[in-house]
Structure 1
């Protein structure tokens, strides 16, 4: 009974190891993915492409018919439609145009595709400005540096874009850009009002700004330790702009400061070491959309903060990453092949022991007994099967008695009965089969000869 219980436990343990090995193999294979990940960490930012009209970028502004706009442009070299925001240095543009007439049609931002197509269909307009997007003929002028983007999105200044487009239309060299934006230090009262809000809530929203609240997830991912935000409306073209960033950095040392002037965003402080890269990559990608649409400041700020998060996760700068919970599968994955190999090895070892039955369990053998009796039993059983085809009424009784003895020997082996008992049963079975062989008259079926032939 003890042998049977021990063998049962071993069988259970053996198949348990095999089951674990199969589960580990399946988990390991499912965890393998053919993918390319070039980031230092997996950024949680959610910046994605959007369809037109799905992010609040379309305004209520509209434009007249093509015929009406054609008539307006024919009557006046510069036509500003209601809601237009683009401004420029008229002296520089006059110098660029020279004596050759240039007619400019200026439309508001936030037009849908059909309205923009109507503006482009005005054939007598040399230059078309939609929002701050400048185009004419087959050309479109696009900003490619931070000063030009800053002037364009903070004050609506398109001077450099107009000058570059006119030069392109005339096949002339493009003149160098100029930084038209002028800065000034904020006054004491201006700085005090902003600082009071930042101390109270961390956010100052100036009169005329469209930001209503911070984009929570984007702000937390971009600056896990917190930042202070200032949102201001687009600044008046041609007037000096209060430079809040450096002044607030002195008031709040060690805290990132994010300032919005219209759709222009910049940040200062300890996290500003990649501000230039963040601005260049953000406006380089989204500048075209921002120039022709009328996005709310909240949407633009969320997209910008997502870009900051992407840069922090890129590994380009030595900055700590936000906390990420430990993924147990990712941590355990390197150990799974070893666990699989160990379970397979344990299964094989237990399988070999089960075959040998070294502990004397059911059907097993100890020492020389278990190495000989099972083989002799198998040989005599095979002999009984073969000779049964030749027996007749005279030899059938001896064959039947031999088979009974072989069945008794099998039962004795399974029940782990004493060695002498098993050998006695096999000897009696051999005697009965020897009588069968002599009766049928075939000497090769005598047990000694038959078993010797099998072994040879």
Structure 2
């Protein structure tokens, strides 16, 4: 039988354990990226801005600074063509406390240079561009849903105007909900519901909504299409019909979106959970921009639907979230330190076993040569043994005889090696009990021939 080097299974397992520990350590270190993700899903929205109107849609202009100065000196209130802002004059007079107030009202949609010309009219106490109210060093803005609703649904800037005038005169303005509401009439509902059943969209005369942005609508309402009602800016001082609750009852489980000028209301599924949040975040972000600009309702609606999609994907809703592929590394990451520790412990234990069981270490000799070397070692040790080492030597010699018979009988080589391993362990035990050095099998087998 040809001689060939062999390795026992604990040796292989020892190095596999070490390789596993190193691999797990590398995976763990690579996975330690510093990142923050507060979203339950990736929103497809692009609501970082409102798309600009198409070329030619903003055509508002204002006279020269000199002309506007002359107008405001002649009249306390000057409304330039296209102005959309209105207010309660009695409330403004009360806020002024008898101090003179001159108000210049310009249309929305002015470019930067035209807004600068309005700002250069020093004779005006208050300047209003669209529904943006400013005066002196201050700009007055809405801070609640009631303020924004009155401002963007009817152009009512009473709250902003009284607050600014009171500030300029060191007074305090009274606060109130400026927008009165009413239920829609039967005739109004018939007209709206007929359009909604036919096309899903109702466009009242004067509304600028041409089409619903399909991509934004699908992202905002993935469970099913919504119904849309587009109305122009409502008349100042008159109760505004509230279509949402009535339409939500007529079309159950269907999202209802109603536009009053630039003001948007939502009714329908999950309204209690997210309608107020979507409104606050949308107008808190874009209210200042909407107040001075003249965006078509399609642009305003697209940004609002993107905001709804962002809120939906943020995990506020108790709804199924978009599918995200399983990341096995992140799932297993908490267990990696324990697996690393287990591999290290296995490596150390097997190393200790290999050190204490020399017969289990990787021999350098083939089976016949190893048998001959161990037999020679046993012969040399037999002249040196005493009462303590004798039993171990006897067991070793018995094992060598069994290995020789197995080798002569052409038994499987693994069986012969197992007998030699046991014999070598017994000889090692006997050698440790001798008062002489150099007789341990590893040392003896390692001597040059």
Task: Tell me the TM-score normalised to structure 2 length.
Answer: 0.69
Deviation at 1:204, TM superposition (A): 2.9
Note if 1:110 corresponds to 2:109.
Answer: yes
Residue 212 of structure 1 corresponds to 210
What is the DSSP-based 3-state SS (H/G/I as helix, E as strand, rest coil) of the residue aligned with 1:307?
Answer: helix
8 A Cα contact 2:85 2:156, kept in partner: yes
Residue 172 of structure 1 corresponds to 171
8 A Cα contact 2:282 2:304, kept in partner: yes
Residue 432 of structure 1 corresponds to none
Deviation at 1:222, TM superposition (A): 3.2
Q: Distance in 1 between matches of 2:227 and 2:359?
A: 76
Q: Distance in 1 between matches of 2:351 and 2:61?
A: 83
Give the unaligned 5+ runs of structure 1.
377-414, 420-448
Deviation at 1:18, TM superposition (A): 6.8
Residue 144 of structure 1 corresponds to 143
Q: Distance in 2 between matches of 1:112 and 1:371?
A: 103
Choose the corresponding residue for 2:194, options 193, 196, 199. Answer: 196
Higher RCO structure (Cα 8 Å, ≥6 apart): 2
8 A Cα contact 1:105 1:125, kept in partner: yes
8 A Cα contact 2:227 2:255, kept in partner: yes
Q: Distance in 1 between matches of 2:339 and 2:218?
A: 39
Deviation at 1:261, TM superposition (A): 0.9
Deviation at 1:36, TM superposition (A): 3.9
Residue 287 of structure 2 corresponds to 287
What is the DSSP-based 3-state SS (H/G/I as helix, E as strand, rest coil) of the residue aligned with 1:280?
Answer: helix
Residue 318 of structure 2 corresponds to 319
Q: Distance in 1 between matches of 2:43 and 2:15?
A: 43
Choose the corresponding residue for 2:52, options 52, 55, 71. Answer: 55
8 A Cα contact 1:234 1:263, kept in partner: yes
Q: Deviations over 1:355-399 (max 9, x none)?
A: 9897898736779958976xx9xxxxxxxxxxxxxxxxxxxxxxx
Further displaced range: 250-259 or 21-30 = 21-30
C-alpha RMSD of the superposition: 4.5
Deviation at 1:231, TM superposition (A): 2.3
Q: Distance in 1 between matches of 2:223 and 2:164?
A: 44
Deviation at 1:133, TM superposition (A): 0.7
What is the DSSP-based 3-state SS (H/G/I as helix, E as strand, rest coil) of the residue aligned with 1:267?
Answer: strand
8 A Cα contact 1:73 1:104, kept in partner: yes
8 A Cα contact 1:109 1:293, kept in partner: yes
Say if 1:164 and 1:24 are closer, same or farther in 2 by CA, change over 3 A.
Answer: same
What is the DSSP-based 3-state SS (H/G/I as helix, E as strand, rest coil) of the residue aligned with 1:180?
Answer: coil
What is the DSSP-based 3-state SS (H/G/I as helix, E as strand, rest coil) of the residue aligned with 1:93?
Answer: helix
Residue 81 of structure 1 corresponds to 80
What is the number of residues matched between the two proteins? 384
Q: Deviations over 1:56-97 (max 9, x none)?
A: 398232222222221221222222222221122334334444
Task: Tell me the TM-score normalised to structure 1 length.
Answer: 0.68
8 A Cα contact 2:105 2:128, kept in partner: yes
